[in-house]
Structure 1
Amino acid sequence: MNSLFNEFMLNVSMTGDIETDFYHFLLVNGHQKTAEHCLKVGRKAEQLAKIYGVDPYKAKIAGYLHDVSAIFPNSKRIVVAKALGLDILKEEEIFPMIIHQKISGVMAAEIFDIHDKEIISAIACHTTLKSNASKIDKVLFVADKIEWDQDGCPPYINQIEHSLKESIDAASYAYIKYLFDNKHNLKVVHPFLESAYKELKEQFKE
């Protein structure tokens, strides 16, 4: 395990049960709200996985671990990403919040011993999605947007829920289309997001 994580493990005892361990890890490190959000996303991802032909256990674990990097504030995320040897895009340097998805992917492997490539992939693109995304990538992406971590009701929830009746691809596109229809609100347009948008827009020609 990278020494960067040592200070966050001082009061953490791992049991081997991911649900117990991720929740306790975030709680001990002062992130109860994130722990509750991850719990909801994991359960929603499991539910969606059963509908759309994805391994429910993998989807649930991806949901539980997708935001464990919340332990690092935005101001430290680029430094952390560099220390972990991650590729850093200029959009991530401008808006470091986005790189938390990649950091969470590393933490899932190094702290929680998750090495399944599908789970890591889903975690590492859960904010932006990406082109050629797998079904589990899209399941986590949509679950995270449904169980968002802000107050109130997501402004795009009706579009997603309506689109889910069609497919997980349609639901993914509904959210990304919402973002691009309101592009003026975006701090940056991440290349992963843009490539996913172009691919899905082509798929759902209007």
Structure 2
Amino acid sequence: MNVYEQDLQKGIRFTGSVYTDALEFFYHHHQDRTAEHSIRVKKAAETLAKSFHVPMRKAAIAGILHDISAVIPNEKRIAAAEALGIDILPEERVFPMIIHQKLSKVLARDLFHTQDQDILNAIECHTTLKANPSPLDLVVFAADKIEWDQSGRPPYIKELQEALEISLEYGAFQYIQYLWNERDKLKVVHPWLRDAYHNLKEKIG
């Protein structure tokens, strides 16, 4: 375990229950709002997993841990990623918030002992998705967008929910297309998001 990670877990008593420990971790670092968001994403992920025959336990773990790196302030995320040996893309250096998905994967693995690669992969791309996503990737991605962490009603939610009645791929593409149409307003277009857009467009087009 990295020294940086050791500092993050100081003062926390881990019980071995990923759900209990994740919430304790959030509350210890005064991330109550993210804790509540993560609880909602966990529940949404479980619901989607049940509907689309994806392992519910994996969806639940990925849901509760997907934003676990929110304890790291945005202005410190690049330094944290460097300390943890994470590959940093140019777009992530311009917009450090987006690297939280990679940081969350590493913290889920190292602090919460999540070794299941399916879960780690879903956490790693829950913001941007990526090309050729797994069903679990799609579940966690969609759940995070359904239970977004902003105030008010998501402007895309009706179309997303209708698309999910067709398939996970349609649901994911509906949201990514929404972002794609707004891409000139985004600070960056992450390469994984671009790849996911073209990949899903080809699959369902």
Normalising to structure 2: TM-score of the pair? 0.98
Encode CA deviations 1:99-127: one digit per residue, 9 max, x unaligned.
00000000001000001000000000000
**Matching of residue 60 in structure 1 with residue 69 in structure 2:** no
* Letter in structure 2 aligned against 1:203: K
Partners of 1:60 and 1:50 lie apart in 2 by 11
2:148 aligned counterpart, secondary structure: coil
**What CA distance in whole angstroms lies between the structure 2 residues aligned with 1:2 and 1:65?**
19
CA shift for structure 1 position 148:
0.3
Match of 2:101 in 1: 101
Identity in percent: 49
2:169·2:204 contact (CA, 8 Å) conserved in 1?
A: no
- Aligned structure 1 segments of 4 or more residues deviating by more than 4 angstroms: none
Cα distance in 2 for residues equivalent to 1:110 and 1:198: 33
Q: Distance in 1 between matches of 2:141 and 2:10?
A: 31
1:1-206 equivalent positions in 2, closer than 5 A: 1-205=1-205
Moved more, 4-13 or 158-167: 4-13
The Cα of 1:19 is off from its aligned counterpart by 1.0
What is the distance in 2 between the residues matched to 1:15 and 1:174?
A: 39
Deviation at 1:10, TM superposition (A): 1.9
Q: Deviations over 1:161-193 (max 9, x none)?
A: 000110000000000000011112211000000
Q: TM-score, structure 1 length as denominator? A: 0.98
> Hey, what's the Cα distance between the residues in 2 that align with 1:98 and 1:199?
21
Structure 1 residue 202, shift from structure 2 partner: 1.2
**Which amino acid is the alignment partner of residue 90 of structure 1?**
P
CA distance in 2, matches of 1:153, 1:185: 20
Unmatched 5+ residue regions in structure 1? none
Q: CA RMSD in A?
A: 0.8
Write the distance in 2 (CA, Å) between the matches of 1:36 and 1:185: 28
Work out the CA distance in 2 between the residues paired with 1:27 and 1:84. Answer: 23
How much does 1:18 deviate?
A: 1.1
Q: CA shift at 1:11, angstroms? A: 1.8
Aligned letter for 1:55? P
- Find the aligned partners of 1:82 and 1:5 in 2 and give their Cα distance: 13
1:42-100 Cα shifts (integer Å, max 9, x gaps): 11101100111110000010000000100111111111111111111000000011100
**Structure 1: how far apart are the matches of 2:155 and 2:11?**
38
In structure 2, what is the Cα distance between the partners aligned to 1:51 and 1:58? 14
